[in-house]
Structure 1
């Protein structure tokens, strides 16, 4: 008798039995995986996505004196400048001055050949002597009724005319000495000994450097604030680190209709190396407040519109609009919007928005730098 044996397919064979101890060992791991992926994990994820605080540098609004000032620039000019011209023609016999030499008003700079003028003076003097003699004889004859009154008047007229001719000849002779009309320094010389000098031709330039002037074209809104006598501080690039003190010398009372400006002339003593032609930067203080609330200019936001700053309060940045007053170098006066001790952001402003969380970096170097 044959036994019937059925083969069981491989796909339906029973699974091997997992030992109970192995299952118990895996349960804690499965529970941990379930806990990490369950609802209890949401607070940690939210915390990871919270924005970080923006690091900023701040300076406290403080009280200090501040000045209202006008700033302008203009080239320095000599107080007076004269072109020395010859009033006659002739050969330059002597040239008595050179560039850079100090000369006084009335000092002779050039001597021109005047032989012809001397002869004219001699002729005029002879004519005067002749007419004086004729006039004196006529006076004696007039007492004897031998000369008419009309003839005597004619002789007097001829004598006066001869004397005027003599004065003119002497004046022409004096033109042989070309003199400086002002005191100053010879800036240029256009003549050499032996050159022929043309009448009315400039041969020297003399500048008075004892006092320098700078003319500012000031907007008309400042016409009520700038007055003669106010102090002016001057700096020039060729002399770094030096500040020169001058005064407003003259203020034009007329506003130019085309430019809307008026002229302010500032005067400075020529000292410390100042020279005509230097380009000067001027500051004129016309008012001062001794106890003004100020902040660094660097704290102001650079976007257009009303002046504003970011103020740190309770760890957050808040945009505050301001009403500004005077500006003085790195400082700006705040008339409305802040109070003493408010922390205004001076660095890190670009990354801030209204309500941004901030992390204040306390640095005394920042405060010192803002005050410079």
Structure 2
């Protein structure tokens, strides 16, 4: 009888221990936060500057005359060849085309005086519209990133063309606007091939490749966050816990960011960590 009593007590104790461990295990699991994760890998990071430019003629000739006009031989829209006489004045002056192009402005009339110089306008404007280029007005931060010969993707109306930065002004120019005075630096992007169905005067979008880093230690950009000192950090998953890790960052693309120091290849990081994720928080990967 005593043996049966002892065995019964032991059975109750064992059942109680099992129940306790089961409940405790579930309690521990309830403390864990489910997170999405990514892996640190070696990648090629392409850094791009997205900006807007204006299509302009590849060549422009602003012809200015003086005196009384005798004959005007062209009108807006005319295509002319190099050396064609466009207008003649009573003082013997002739306005002559310097290249093959299209007449885009005519501000003079026969038998009338030419006063356009006083008004700051050309008498006749000739543009080469056969091949366009893109005029950029760069901000201070953009100017420091853009350099001659950088590749560019030029987009307009669901079309994308390739090109490169061909010119960059040495000095910024200030301009007055409703918002105040702003300075910008001029630059020009040339098309690799003459585009079709594009028109001078319209804006286009550009993605200029400013830097390429090959074999970079990189992590998904959505893993990056900052601590209360504005230092870049990530949360690395180690032994089922989130470990706050300070990193040094470098170049970045729209999806990846270079890690110069602080992480190693193949480490697992938490993506888009929310406010519940802290140092040593228990986590479970999705």
TM-score relative to the length of structure 1: 0.55
Summarize the Cα distance change of 1:360–1:43 in structure 2 as closer, same or farther, 3 Å threshold.
closer
- Shift of the alpha carbon at 1:345? 1.8
Contiguous gaps of at least 5 residues in structure 2: 1-17, 117-121, 175-180
> What is the match of residue 162 of structure 2?
244
Give a deviation string over 1:174-213, Cα, whole Å, max 9, x none. Answer: 43x5433454322234456xx6432243443222343424
Give a deviation string over 1:131-163, Cα, whole Å, max 9, x none. Answer: xxxxxxxxxxxxxxxxxxxxxxxxxxxxxxxxx
Matched residues, number: 256
Equivalent residue for 1:197, pick from 108, 112, 122: 112
> What is the match of residue 190 of structure 2?
267
Q: Which has the higher strand share?
A: 2
Give me the whole-angstrom Cα distance separating, in 2, the residues matched to 1:197 and 1:68. Answer: 57
> What is the match of residue 7 of structure 2?
none
The answer to whether the 8 A contact 2:221-2:257 is kept is yes
Give a deviation string over 1:60-91, Cα, whole Å, max 9, x none. Answer: 11112224555554334334433334433246
Aligned partner of residue 298 in structure 1, secondary structure: helix
> What is the match of residue 318 of structure 1?
243
> What is the match of residue 119 of structure 2?
none
Which deviates more, 271-280 or 327-336?
A: 271-280
Give me the whole-angstrom Cα distance separating, in 2, the residues matched to 1:207 and 1:303. Answer: 56
The CA RMSD over aligned residues, in Å, is: 4.0
TM-score relative to the length of structure 2: 0.69
Contiguous gaps of at least 5 residues in structure 1: 1-39, 118-171, 362-372
Q: Which has the higher helix share?
A: 1
Alignment of 1:8-157 (within 5 A): 51-67=30-46, 72-90=51-69, 92=71, 95-99=73-77, 101-110=78-87
The answer to whether the 8 A contact 1:247-1:268 is kept is no
Give me the whole-angstrom Cα distance separating, in 1, the residues matched to 2:22 and 2:38. Answer: 36
Summarize the Cα distance change of 1:340–1:206 in structure 2 as closer, same or farther, 3 Å threshold.
same
Summarize the Cα distance change of 1:211–1:291 in structure 2 as closer, same or farther, 3 Å threshold.
same
- Shift of the alpha carbon at 1:291? 1.4
